[in-house]
Amino acid sequence: MIRRNLFYLTWFFFLISCKDHRNLDQNAREFSPKLTLIANDTLTFSVGSQFNVHTRYVRKCLIKNKPYLGAVNEISNDLEFFALSEEGENFKVNFQLDGPNGVGKLKAFEIISDSTLLIASTYRIRLYVTDFDGNLLRTIKTNEIERKGKPFVQTYYTHQPLIHDKRSDSFYVYTGVDTDFRGPGIWSGTMFLKMPNEIDSPPKHVFELSSYFNDFVYGAFFSHNSHVLMENRYLVMSIPFYNNILIYDLEREEVKEMEAGSKHFGDALPWDSPSFGRDEEFYVSSNSYREVAYDDDNKLLYRMAYRAVEYVGPDGDRRNWDNKLPSVIIINKDFEKVGEIDLPENTVYTRTYFTHNGKLYLSLNHPDNNPSEDQMVFVGFKPEEL
């Protein structure tokens, strides 16, 4: 009996050690820095009083081979385009809330062609194809296919919720599983709905995460993944608590991982005792990752990392996720980390960003140090070898 008990006890500790081996690792990973980022210039766009300079939905895009910065104006329901070259002129597209051309409240967009747009709105089970005059050309239902017996919701926490894959002429829509953010299982299922642009082609769910993530419990703020299309082939996802980036190959339909963590920390540990109403406190006082951007000129991927701060500051005021300490991780085309720079505290609003002319542009309209309510102001960071 004693021998049998010792056997089960030894087997129990073996299982624990195996589970620990798969647990998250808080330690920062080692890397050899080869690149840095240098502040190079600033860009300013006049937007007026009917515009929120903290809009998250800005994207560099090409229209008739001219570069523009497209920005969602949720106040006026306009999609505004700011010329990034002397050849272009600023213009805007207004969208109707209802009626024959109604699309609801504007949330996100994607350029399909020089004459058509893909629009997402607060009506989160539809997508809309429109022209550049705001006329509705086609409505696409996105709730007709379920994910493993569960409904899904189009989510707009991320910077780029809509992606048009020009090679296959398909749309990738970022989705979320309809489960409790405070319970296991939120990471199960698939991350994107693939919608072929062809009217009669059926949609399907793609980019399935490993069941490894099912064991972790996080608050709602940790569901705010970010992703970007790289090289017109790879969907790269940044999960807030996870050191590695996840890379979905659109051609092979395979997922792989590559280390891309901060020099300050590794993975973030789960929330031991989730409770309603304390999501923000948990997020602010935890290390985390968020946005990713791709610089096609230099073939570099940028990932934002945020060091934890105390939820209540020395002045007694509560902090939010914009008060965490930011840094930018630099990753090359082979998915190798080659640099990381720290950004000044409460200065750069990293949720509004884009890449252009070989530079990463980050907003200076930080809520605690905002230079203007009528202008979007960006500082351009240029990569340089060490």
Residues 164-206: pLDDT tens digits?
A: 999 899 999 988 655 555 665 555 556 888 988 887 788 888 8
How confident is the model at residue 201, as a pLDDT? Answer: 80
How confident is the model at residue 299, as a pLDDT? Answer: 97
Cα–Cα distance, 260 to 130 (Å, whole number): 38
Amino acid (1-letter code) at residue 77: N
Cα–Cα distance, 271 to 266 (Å, whole number): 16
Q: Is pLDDT of 335 > 90?
A: yes
Closest CA to 221 of 291, 284, 304: 284
In terms of DSSP H, where are the helices of 209-287? 279-284
Question: Which residues are paired to 46 by β-bridges?
Answer: 375
How confident is the model at residue 17, as a pLDDT? Answer: 34
pTM higher than 0.85 for the full model?
Answer: yes
> Is residue 242 a contact partner of residue 267, using CB atoms and an 8 Å limit?
yes
Q: Is pLDDT of 3 > 60?
A: no
| Percent of the chain clearing pLDDT 70 (strictly above) | 88
* 115-137 confidence digits (pLDDT tens): 999 999 988 888 999 999 999 99
Q: What is the mean pLDDT of residues 202-214?
A: 82
For residue 220, give both structure tokens.
């709602």
Q: Is pLDDT of 384 > 60?
A: yes
User: Which of 95-109, 150-164, 309-323, 326-340 has the weakest average pLDDT?
Assistant: 150-164
How confident is the model at residue 15, as a pLDDT? Answer: 38
How confident is the model at residue 189, as a pLDDT? Answer: 59
Question: Which residues are paired to 258 by β-bridges?
Answer: 245
Give the long-range contacts of residues 246-254, CB within 8 A, separation 24 or more.
246/207, 246/209, 247/335, 248/191, 248/192, 248/206, 248/207, 250/165, 250/167, 250/168, 253/206
Give me the chain's average pLDDT, please. 87
Q: Is pLDDT of 100 > 90?
A: yes
